[in-house]
């Protein structure tokens, strides 16, 4: 099961009709199970699923550290994919105690919450150790298209990139879901023992509350999004100490929180 597939399409250009092969992004149900208990079904691109399982488990607070995830198995099913994970007993007990119905969720961090108090939880502010220059950000933005092979092939996926403070793209993940792409990236980075102080996140989507919350959960200090943020995302970023940028595009970007942390140098 690959990240894309070929279909035959009827193409119209300038009034001329032709049939041709086209590559489209794969999207399948991915069931995340913990200690043989089903937790949630997500619609995702079936690639980098081990990274996805780890990143989702960390950003959703299901586990506290990489060591809490003992094993991950990707099990193909007729209807989709099962991501079978085994986690530590104390994490599983905590998960079992949470009364949240998340089946059918597609990345929404509010779906299934039983109260307004559960829906938005503000964590302790992240530490502030980095400054990012506008020039470094623009280097990352310029480099992003060439680092998205699945997007170039299909035109249907989002990406999340980890960028060094010099603007170089160190790692990147793609998925049909923006939250999934970010979880995959955070999973990959966490597995390799990254330091949040070594860079910043750049995502090809809008900056919703869920994206900001996942970035904060990973200890990231700066999140830049190609599109706009939401009001809740800006409020959450401000309270959490996250530097939040939007409309990060060639030659421009908006800084919504902590503009003093952006520098004008290299």
The CATH number given to whatever domain includes residue 146 is 3.40.140.10
CA geometry: angle at 231 spanning 229 and 237, to 5°? 75
Q: What is the pLDDT of residues 136-190, one digit of tens each?
A: 999 999 999 999 999 999 999 999 999 999 999 999 999 999 999 999 999 999 9
Query: Is 241 a member of any domain?
Result: yes
- Give the residue numbers spanning the domain of 157: 132-263
Q: What is the pLDDT of residue 114?
A: 58
For the chain, percent of residues with pLDDT exceeding 90: 86
The per-residue pLDDT for 95 is 93
- Pair (75, 171) in one structural domain: no
SS3 62: coil
Burial grade of 32 (CB within 10 A; 0-12, 13-18, 19 or more): buried
Span 8-29, pLDDT tens digits: 999 999 999 999 999 999 999 9
State the pLDDT at residue 265. Answer: 60
Q: Residue 54 falls within a domain, yes or no?
A: yes
Query: What pLDDT is stored for residue 124 in this prediction?
Result: 77
Which phi and psi angles does 141 have, rounded to 5°?
Answer: -60, -45
In a domain, 49, yes or no: yes
Q: What is the pLDDT confidence band of residue 116, given thresholds at 50, 70 and 90?
A: low
Query: What band does 102 get if pLDDT is binned at 50, 70 and 90?
Result: very low
Asked if residue 21 belongs to a domain, the reply is no
Q: 101 falls in which pLDDT band (50, 70, 90)?
A: very low
On the question of pLDDT at 105 being above 60, the answer is no
**For 25, what's the count of Cα atoms within 13 Å in the CB-facing half-sphere?**
21
**pLDDT score of 112:** 47
Q: Say if residue 154 is in the same domain as residue 244.
A: yes
Q: Determine, yes or no, domain membership for 240.
A: yes
- Choose the final residue of a domain: 119, 151, 174: 119
- Whether residue 137 is found in the same domain as residue 259: yes
User: Based on the domain organization, do 150 and 201 belong to the same domain?
Assistant: yes
Report the predicted TM-score, pTM, of the whole model to 2 decimal places: 0.92
**Which sequence positions are flagged as catalytic?**
108
The CATH number covering residue 38 comes to: 3.10.20.10
Q: Compute the average pLDDT of residues 32-42.
A: 96
Q: What is the pLDDT of residue 119?
A: 65
Task: Return the SS3 of 14.
Answer: coil
194 and 138 both lie in a single domain? yes
Q: Does one domain contain both 165 and 219? A: yes
Considering the domain architecture, whether residues 144 and 238 belong to the same structural domain is answered as yes
Strand duo 243-249 + 158-164: pairing: unpaired
Q: 212-216 — which CB contacts under 8 Å span 24+ positions?
A: 212/236, 212/237, 212/240, 212/242, 212/244, 213/59, 213/109, 214/59, 214/109, 214/179, 214/182, 214/183, 214/186, 215/182, 215/242, 216/123, 216/126, 216/240, 216/242
Residues 174 and 246 in one domain: yes
Tell whether 97 and 213 lie within a shared domain.
no
Torsion angle in degrees (nearest 10) through CA of 65, 68, 71, 76: -70
Are 171 and 239 contained in the same domain? Answer: yes
HSE, CB side, 13 Å, CA atoms: give it for residue 53. Answer: 26
Number of C-beta neighbours around residue 172 at 10 A: 21
Q: Looking at the 3D structure of the chain, how many domains does it have?
A: 2
Q: 83, 74 in Cβ contact below 8 A?
A: yes
Q: What pLDDT sits at residue 103? A: 40
User: pLDDT confidence of 266, banded at 50, 70, 90?
Assistant: low
Domain's final residue, options 88, 119, 150: 119
Mean pLDDT, all residues of the chain: 92
Whether 1 shows a pLDDT value over 70: the answer reads: yes
CA dist 74 → 30, 52, 62, 70, 123 (Å): 10, 11, 19, 14, 31
């Amino acid at each position: 099961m690959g990240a894309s597939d070929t279909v035959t399409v009827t193409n119209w250009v300038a009034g001329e009709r032709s049939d041709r092969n086209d590559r489209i992004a794969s999207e399948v149900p991915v069931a995340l199970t913990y200690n043989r208990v089903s937790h949630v079904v997500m619609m995702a691109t079936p690639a980098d699923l081990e990274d996805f399982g780890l990143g989702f488990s960390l950003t959703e607070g299901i586990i506290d550290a990489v060591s809490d995830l003992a094993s991950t198995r990707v099990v193909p099913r007729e209807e989709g994919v099962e991501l079978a994970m085994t986690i530590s007993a104390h994490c599983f007990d905590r998960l079992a105690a949470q009364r949240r119905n998340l089946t059918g969720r597609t990345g929404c961090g509010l779906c299934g919450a039983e109260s307004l108090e559960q829906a938005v939880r503000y964590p302790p502010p992240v530490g502030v150790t980095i400054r990012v220059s506008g020039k470094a950000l623009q280097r990352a933005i310029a480099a992003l298209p060439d680092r998205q092979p699945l997007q170039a092939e299909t035109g249907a996926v989002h990406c999340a990139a980890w960028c060094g403070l010099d603007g170089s793209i160190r790692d990147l993940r793609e998925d049909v879901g923006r939250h999934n792409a970010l979880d995959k990236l955070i999973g990959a980075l966490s597995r390799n023992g990254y330091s949040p102080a070594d860079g910043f996140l750049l995502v090809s989507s809008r900056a919703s509350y869920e994206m900001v919350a996942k970035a904060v959960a990973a200890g990231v200090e700066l999140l830049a999004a190609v599109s706009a943020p939401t009001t809740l995302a800006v409020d959450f970023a401000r309270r959490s100490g996250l530097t939040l940028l939007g409309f990060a595009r060639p030659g421009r970007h908006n800084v919504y929180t902590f503009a003093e942390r952006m520098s004008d140098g290299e």
